[in-house]
Structure 1
């Protein structure tokens, strides 16, 4: 039968149907349910056995000591210079100090955080902190030895009570140490004292004590403590710490603030202490000089029998008083300048300069203040770093430069003062010439008195500065004002049950979805009818054959067979009738060719079952072995392997179809025409005119001629004889045939190599059968159980 090739335009791809996409996943709903149950159960287990952590927060304000508007209670000290110092430090530097390792090390040592008390009576074990029935006091510890044991259990001990004594069991070595309460005991890497708590129970068990290195604990808590500036325009700092033990976290933050304030106060007092030392030294020297001047004055008056010579020179003294006063001021300033220059030249590196001594030139005082501020800042950074730190090097360079500037300013000031003194002396000489008549004794007496006044004024000035400096030490205030002491949240911040359960629910839905999606994404095989309908609408799907499970029968029995397999072939038979009717009503001799793209797609299986189905309707059916290269009829009819058949008929004219056609043992209405002997040239045999005669003769003898042909893609045999076919069934095997191979069937139809083609989808999973088996109805079979459905839908795992 010939037919003009038809070339039809391939339909365009349709838009995605959301409902169809959802149905791909909804049919696996038991696995979604099971995954959700498992994930939620794991989430509950995680919440049950995970230690909760709480957030602890404290806040402080760093006082701005450069403020030009000090508080009213401190305004009385402004004139004394007590609010100076620390002004050059920015808020970022203070945050850096709070985060420093040195500061956290002091906290760890003060609170003894390198000792943990763990109660293992519950699950999970929890740290009891200071609620432990016994507390450990470390007298001496070898950090290096403990560091070597850190990764083993030799640094952990179980503590139990035996009468009035304690038993320490080393978890690593198993060695048991006996200790008395309040008495030192050697534990290998440390000497400790065990102190029972008065509020603790007399008996306890399952208490574990873990020793850690101070360095390790410092690093751990330094990473956990967060120090943040709440606003860039303010000096309010918030400290936070996440820890399972709320009391411990509060103590850490409070102690950190305490250590910060203590160090800041010490830095402030350092300048005052150096100033006090300088003043005491100068007072000692001035006191000796004053005693010497006063003694000389007394001896001069005694030697010269002087009583009251003031009246004699009152007129001249009134004129010279102003010059004397100015000379005294100049002398004081020169003395201060000489003392400061001597201190600068003889002082060691890093010494602070005396401040607020009364030097008249404000530029010099300002440079001294800048020098002290830089020295303090360098010393603070150097205490937690080394001299090679770039910041320390930069500060040292600035300190040297400013020190030179201070020395140069003092020398310049002294030179200026000396010039002024010389000018005053010249003017005093003029006055002196006016009182030349005054006896020389008076002049000598006035010189001694002038020296006495200078020493007295300097002595009184230094006494005043010493009192001011002492007051500065007494009123030093903390640098960090506590806004909120450390407080902990009532609810744990981790784990959060609602978030964990929600994540478990989402994960339980997501895991099956991803597995299904990825498996479908990576799958290049045809799985169901929808795959065929989308890609090959030019060729109708005339039937679906369900997957035959291992151990089940592959062939239909008889008319009463109510299996899914039998129903599928009955539906295929019905669809063939409609297809044949559309191509012309042919009552008998219908030749049905069964082919596929490659081998293994179920041609022989479909041929036998279709033949039995047709035979059950009372029709005479013959199965023809059309694959001369690889005969397969012997799979269901073993004797066909040794039978003569088509190849023998085509080669030898002495053979007739009557002698080659045999009755099948499967059904009385079913006959067999085997492939026969395997020829060397199958394609040449099919090109013989005798092949057409064979099909014509079979058409007259049987109602249906089922031809099991060779794979179309591998050999040309099927294309050579397809012209004799009334209908061609093209087998596609679900999960086996690649999607791209559909194009071969479409091209063959377009090119006219195959005609009247219909797809038959073989080996379909029950979950993909029909329209997804969505209604759950199988005629003649009982409904499957829930777990059977789950097992049936597990194919994507």
Structure 2
């Protein structure tokens, strides 16, 4: 049996995409409704959710040469501090340390928070934005509470107020008077009106205030979490401090106070080093004063004992050269003495204590190492405030401190050895000059020795006096360690919620929700949908018709003059059927036998058969519609005949019955349309169909009719149709949209590929146009009498 090729080419990928888009766009009202609802929810969220504002401030960490006092104009003076290298990571750790933030919390009073209660949301206000302040009684346990404590306060008039607890069940209530203590739930506090608010009782009475007290640790933890400190660049010494919060005034107050506390902390460190240096110098001055006094007294006593008043003039020239050598030796001995004193101090001091800086040692290496040692000691002390000695950072600093101290000792030892070498050379030159003075009186030489000792002590004393003045001046003129680049400033627009992103996200979600629902619905849909759907599943079986869905009450025989969408669908089916006739058939004018079958019952075989027959009769073709579903006949219901009337089963069983006995002429008043019913249900329909009488009946009908339409039994349930399939010229196989399972297409393809049915073509019945399937026959061209639904009836469109 020759199979017919499909009538249309395979659907392209672009057509599939277009069909898929149209399938979703058919539900555009739901997309629109979902998007509107999502945007409305987004509007309510943006309107009533707390708004967060970003506040920033910028500070520059100053080096010593940018902020300290320049003392280089004094002889032997140098910088007491050396901060040429700024480690921003260390400064960031200090800025975010709990020790510093605790000072900020205490200074700003952040533990007490004020709110104004609204109908929908509660807004936080800073201390300067409320007309009163709360003073907690220090004797009360409020300061040591482990959790937040809340009260609602409402003014009755300008002098009295009512307060109730927020965290107890049931709530406790009390009344109080301005400036007088009130106790409630074990907590005592005092409400104090700010200047200018004493006479605004009516205004105060219209507002509900919420007061919350939080433990210090909770406030510090929140501040640590929200505070952002970042450098503006790799090579920059400017830090940006940021804070997000609901109240811009509060954010600015916190950041400004944080920069103040950080600056004060740095100033304290500077003063501490200056104070330690001053203490060391004072101690050395007292010792030198006693030694110098002893030497002066010795000179006086020696001169008195030996009656020496003046040195002879002729000796002065002899001592000129010796004096130059002595001066150099004095200088070297002074340096050696200071270095030895500093070495002794370094050995006697504990490992992790500050050292005096720049004592006059003319060794840049020792001075630089001493300054670095002090910086490391300061960093270690700051870390120990909020951590233990086992902290890796502290251990690392300890190693650096000990290493630096060792380097200082080595540098001092090397410097002393260098001084000793220079001193030996000078002493050798001095010995040469001294040899010329051997002839001097012994007493004169001894007095010179005593005077030289006095000069050494005197120079050292004067040197330390100068250093004491430098340290005192440095202590009195300690300058800030930071420069405020920008004071705390809050951006006018909130950073959260981000209105544009929220609305865009809501719009996208509003579209995705119906899309997701439809996607799941389509994905879980296991039924055939429309003509294009089944084409993809059963290629290359041709699909020659698509019949729209009709209400059950409208599923009746269509009249020849009917101009409905359904009638047009059957006319198109009739036209396609004419083209589908076997192209190689020799007798083109011979009557056509058309089987109408399906996989299961309920797919519309009988409805399609009777209306196709009516459509063929309308073009003046003699049509015989024969019911051949011997097990579950339905044709009699459409023409209102008795189910037990003579029919095919009667003809097959009783040889005395002729075809003329079975024919019901001009059914429902339609000329050229005759019907033969299925007849009474026999016990053995398969055997009856094989007794040869059915073939005879078909042959007789061909002599009188142009078309013979046979309403047969479903193929997947019974074998009746397959037993007589060779008698058909065309087999129209019915599927029903949203009813026929996709898995049945395998059975349909098997019937086609194994040629169990002759010249097979498919029809899709009951296509639901509300789901975007079908072609809407008659719409847009004014041909059909049917009117489209109104625009708001989108479920019927």
Instruction: Give the CA deviation at 1:575.
Output: 5.3
Mapping 1:153-552, distance limit 5 Å = 154-161=149-156, 164-173=159-168, 174-182=171-179, 192-200=189-197, 201-202=200-201, 203-204=204-205, 205-309=207-311, 311=313, 313-414=315-416, 417=419, 434-516=436-518, 519-520=521-522, 523=525, 525-532=527-534, 539-549=541-551, 552=553
Cα distance in 2 for residues equivalent to 1:317 and 1:181: 90
Distance 1:537 1:248, change over 3 A: same
Instruction: Give the CA deviation at 1:278.
Output: 1.0
SS of the equivalent of 2:241 reads strand
Give the count of matched residue pairs: 778
Cα distance in 2 for residues equivalent to 1:10 and 1:611: 25
Asked if 1:692 corresponds to 2:692, the answer is: no
Instruction: Give the CA deviation at 1:399.
Output: 1.0
Out of 755, 766, 791, the residue aligned to residue 752 of structure 1 is 755
Out of 115, 120, 135, the residue aligned to residue 118 of structure 1 is 115
Q: Note the residue ranges of structure 2 that are not aligned, 5 or more in a row.
A: none
Aligned counterpart, 2:775: 771
Out of 692, 710, 713, the residue aligned to residue 707 of structure 1 is 710
| More displaced 10-residue stretch of structure 1: 571-580 or 237-246 | 571-580
Instruction: Give the CA deviation at 1:206.
Output: 1.1
Mapping 1:562-573, distance limit 5 Å = 568-569=569-570, 572=573
Distance 1:179 1:322, change over 3 A: farther
SS of the equivalent of 1:16 reads helix
Distance 1:602 1:444, change over 3 A: same
Cα distance in 1 for residues equivalent to 2:661 and 2:36: 64
Distance 1:779 1:446, change over 3 A: same
Aligned counterpart, 1:727: 730
CA contact (8 A) 1:261 1:480 kept: yes
CA contact (8 A) 2:623 2:709 kept: no
SS of the equivalent of 2:715 reads coil
Aligned counterpart, 2:790: 785
Distance 1:85 1:336, change over 3 A: same
Instruction: Give the CA deviation at 1:424.
Output: 5.7
Aligned counterpart, 2:131: 133
Asked if 1:46 corresponds to 2:45, the answer is: yes
* Residues 635-660 of structure 1: CA deviation (Å, up to 9, x unaligned): 8799977789756765x556746799
TM-score (norm 2): 0.84
CA contact (8 A) 1:643 1:676 kept: no
| More displaced 10-residue stretch of structure 1: 739-748 or 749-758 | 739-748
Instruction: Give the CA deviation at 1:73.
Output: 8.2
Mapping 1:3-82, distance limit 5 Å = 3-5=1-3, 11-17=9-15, 20=19, 22-65=21-64, 74=70, 80-82=77-79
* Residues 415-449 of structure 1: CA deviation (Å, up to 9, x unaligned): 55456656666665665554455444434433332
Instruction: Give the CA deviation at 1:248.
Output: 1.7
* Residues 346-368 of structure 1: CA deviation (Å, up to 9, x unaligned): 22232111111111333322322
TM-score (norm 1): 0.84
CA contact (8 A) 2:650 2:679 kept: no
SS of the equivalent of 1:710 reads coil
Distance 1:184 1:16, change over 3 A: same
Cα distance in 2 for residues equivalent to 1:692 and 1:445: 162
| More displaced 10-residue stretch of structure 1: 414-423 or 261-270 | 414-423
Instruction: Give the CA deviation at 1:774.
Output: 9.2
Cα distance in 2 for residues equivalent to 1:230 and 1:313: 72
Cα distance in 2 for residues equivalent to 1:9 and 1:634: 34
SS of the equivalent of 2:765 reads strand
* Residues 296-347 of structure 1: CA deviation (Å, up to 9, x unaligned): 3333333444322454743443343234323433432333233222322222
CA contact (8 A) 1:607 1:708 kept: yes
Cα distance in 1 for residues equivalent to 2:602 and 2:497: 55
Once superposed, what is the RMSD of the aligned Cα atoms? 4.2
Cα distance in 1 for residues equivalent to 2:678 and 2:589: 22
Cα distance in 1 for residues equivalent to 2:665 and 2:133: 95
Cα distance in 2 for residues equivalent to 1:750 and 1:94: 83
CA contact (8 A) 1:645 1:677 kept: no
* Residues 566-610 of structure 1: CA deviation (Å, up to 9, x unaligned): 665565456556656987998997543222234443334434555
* Residues 42-69 of structure 1: CA deviation (Å, up to 9, x unaligned): 233233223333332322223345x7xx
Aligned counterpart, 2:678: 673
Instruction: Give the CA deviation at 1:684.
Output: 5.5
CA contact (8 A) 2:581 2:730 kept: yes
CA contact (8 A) 1:612 1:670 kept: no
Instruction: Give the CA deviation at 1:402.
Output: 1.9
Cα distance in 2 for residues equivalent to 1:83 and 1:595: 108
CA contact (8 A) 2:172 2:185 kept: no
* Residues 751-791 of structure 1: CA deviation (Å, up to 9, x unaligned): 433334332212211334541569377944454334432x3
| More displaced 10-residue stretch of structure 1: 387-396 or 322-331 | 322-331
Aligned counterpart, 1:106: 103
| More displaced 10-residue stretch of structure 1: 524-533 or 456-465 | 524-533
Cα distance in 1 for residues equivalent to 2:38 and 2:566: 39
Instruction: Give the CA deviation at 1:462.
Output: 0.9
Instruction: Give the CA deviation at 1:502.
Output: 4.3
Distance 1:464 1:774, change over 3 A: farther
Cα distance in 2 for residues equivalent to 1:480 and 1:267: 13
SS of the equivalent of 2:677 reads strand
Distance 1:533 1:420, change over 3 A: closer
| More displaced 10-residue stretch of structure 1: 451-460 or 9-18 | 9-18
Instruction: Give the CA deviation at 1:527.
Output: 1.7
* Residues 480-532 of structure 1: CA deviation (Å, up to 9, x unaligned): 22222122222333344445444444444454445445644564543223334
Cα distance in 2 for residues equivalent to 1:187 and 1:102: 32
Cα distance in 2 for residues equivalent to 1:218 and 1:748: 79
Cα distance in 1 for residues equivalent to 2:507 and 2:353: 67
CA contact (8 A) 2:613 2:625 kept: yes
| More displaced 10-residue stretch of structure 1: 282-291 or 351-360 | 282-291
CA contact (8 A) 2:67 2:480 kept: no
Cα distance in 2 for residues equivalent to 1:250 and 1:226: 14
Instruction: Give the CA deviation at 1:170.
Output: 0.9
Instruction: Give the CA deviation at 1:286.
Output: 1.6
Cα distance in 2 for residues equivalent to 1:267 and 1:248: 29
SS of the equivalent of 1:135 reads strand
CA contact (8 A) 2:54 2:245 kept: yes
Cα distance in 2 for residues equivalent to 1:419 and 1:4: 123
